[in-house]
Amino acid sequence: MNFSFDAMSYPYASRRSVVYGRRGMVATANPLAAQAGLEILKQGGNAIDAMIATAAALTVVEPTANGIGSDAFALVWVKDKLYGLNASGPAPAAMTLEALQSRGFKEMPVLGMLPVTVPGTPAGWAALSKRFGRLPLSQVVEPAARYAEEGYVLQPAVGSGWPRNLAKFSKAIETDKSVQGWFDTFLPGGKCLGPGDVLVLKDHAATLREIGATNAESFYRGALADKIDAYFRQFDSFLRKEDLAAYQPQWVEPISVNYKGYDVCEIPPNGHGISTLMALNILKELDLGPVDSFRSTHLQLEAMKLAFADARRYVADPDYMTVPVERLLSDEYAAQRRACIGDRARLPEPGDPIRGGTVYMCAADGEGNMISYIQSNYMGFGSGVVVPGTGIAMQNRGNNFSMDPESDNCVAPGKRPYHTIIPGFLCKDGKPVGPFGVMGGFMQPQGHLQVVLNTVEYGMNPQAALDHPRWQWVGGNTIEVEQSFPNDLAQALQRAGHDIVVKADPIGFGRGEIIWRNDEGVLCGASEPRSDGQVAVW
């Protein structure tokens, strides 16, 4: 691929430009984490080593979005092949529908220990390091451990997350003392932190070093597993060391659709990257018209709504899905769903496929290796559970299970929940173009769709593709848009039945990064203007 976009064309408000490099590049939403990855590249590591270093650092410097107790997914390009890694964890053996019902729950709990599934991130780091890394894992996590041990300064977007999380966990602790660890860890001296404050996480540093020294064995079958087990037993919750010991991440075959000559690649379910692919499949036979036109935006919205409706109905742990991925991505089913789109907004309903659907980072090196990686505790800090003496902040991914016995995604022991975090990767003619991603819960596939169309359909450079004003479907016919979204377009969509809500805070519209590589090996990177993002280049 050669860069065909105008690198100096910035039609949207931004203080950023694309970044070029050749020897290596790391892009993520936090400059400290990006620098950790660049440090490992300069120590002789490859893109995969750099990505693990960045991911480990993000558990330290961006705890508002992820932690050591996260889940993760990756798409890795090495030696002319794209590999997928699913490092999301299953429900513990004791997490049954009946057990939750017996505790009075009719919907999955949100905070505390009960929604915690087996964390996959440490095992994911170890698996990536073992298969593709060049440096020892202990060396790769050291920059992150150093940040934690010596203390680091909270960046603006990260620091702004403390007050709202303090309010949330202050309410939760009234009935659930298992979230006390959040206060002990993230409110030093009882102070609510903010941008520019310094946070020291010595327990976190020791845990990172133990994970590095044992290639994550301690977390799943050693001393760290014992500490996790003891804390969950203290509160009579589900997770046990036997659940941790049984866990292994899975190498998976990426799924893709071809859109205008580009292969758009995602991780297969239990993630919902398939919803981006279903929407692209619906759109690929349509004339979208100019960028920011009513036709283009309306068609994108309706296609995304249909894809989401299918994903919420059919996507689950693949061992439990009643509809195969191949059917959801078939041209026949795309045509069936395409026929549902009219000139006005409509409430989406799942189709019938049987008849006839966080922190992100990417890195690249001078050898051609590239990686798209994402990890998350789900809702901000996650469950609020921090295992004492370890700094391990646990996700609350079990909240994405259903408690409907008829659902493919109904909670069950050993089953992985519907997952919102998705890395993306673009290829053309069997060659890598590069990794991309937009983090942010259910915004992620919508962000993927908008970024792909901005670059492939409309020829924007990576930074312009991220700067472009975003929309987000949030349910019914309600569409949230950024303040920079064109007013005349918003009014046209409103007349067509879309309920347009202008949001003052851009944080809900996702945070993304992109790295493209051309045929000469030149790297072109972009970072998110809605966050503290940085492209670190060598």
Instruction: State how far the Cα of 448 lies from the Cα of 535, in Å rounded to an integer.
Output: 19
Phi/psi at 194 (5° precision)? -155, 180
In sequence order, the 6+-apart residues with CB closer than 8 A to the CB of 402 are 108, 409, 410, 411, 418
Give the span between the Cα atoms of 238 and 301, in whole angstroms. Answer: 40
Strand partners, 491: none
CA distance 125 to 31: 20
Q: What is the widest separation between alpha-carbon atoms in the chain?
A: 63
What is the number of other CB atoms lying within 10 angstroms of the CB of residue 438? 29
Q: In Å, how far from its chain's centre is CA 393? A: 17
Quote the tokens at residue 472: 């987000």
**How many other CB atoms are there within 10 angstroms of residue 318's CB atom?**
16
Cβ-based neighbours of 38, under 8 Å, separated by 6 or more = 24, 26, 50, 536, 537, 538
What number of CA atoms fall less than 13 Å from residue 261's CA on the CB side?
6
**Within 10 Å of residue 183's Cβ, how many Cβ atoms?**
16
Q: How far apart are CA 514 and CA 437, in angstroms?
A: 7
| Dihedral pair phi/psi, residue 452, rounded to 5° | -60, -45
Give whole-number Cα distances, 107 to 405, 442, 525, in Å.
12, 19, 42
C-alpha closest to that of 141 among 117, 158, 124:
124
Both tokens of 217, joined, read 């064995």
175 is known as an active-site residue: no
Q: Which of 54, 185, 207, 358 is catalytic?
A: 358
Strand order of the β-sheet with 370-376 is 250-252, 81-87, 71-78, 370-376, 359-365, 24-28, 534-537
Q: In what order do the strands lie in the sheet with 523-527?
A: 19-21, 523-527, 511-517, 431-439, 424-428, 262-266, 255-259
Q: What CA–CA distance (Å, rounded) separates 365 from 45?
A: 9
Pair of tokens at residue 290: 């100019």
Look up residue 51 and give its two tokens.
Answer: 């990505």
DSSP β-ladder status, 478-482 and 499-503: parallel
Three-class SS of 225-265: HHHHHHHHHHCCCCCCHHHHHCCCCEEECCEEEEECCEEEE
Active site residues: 358
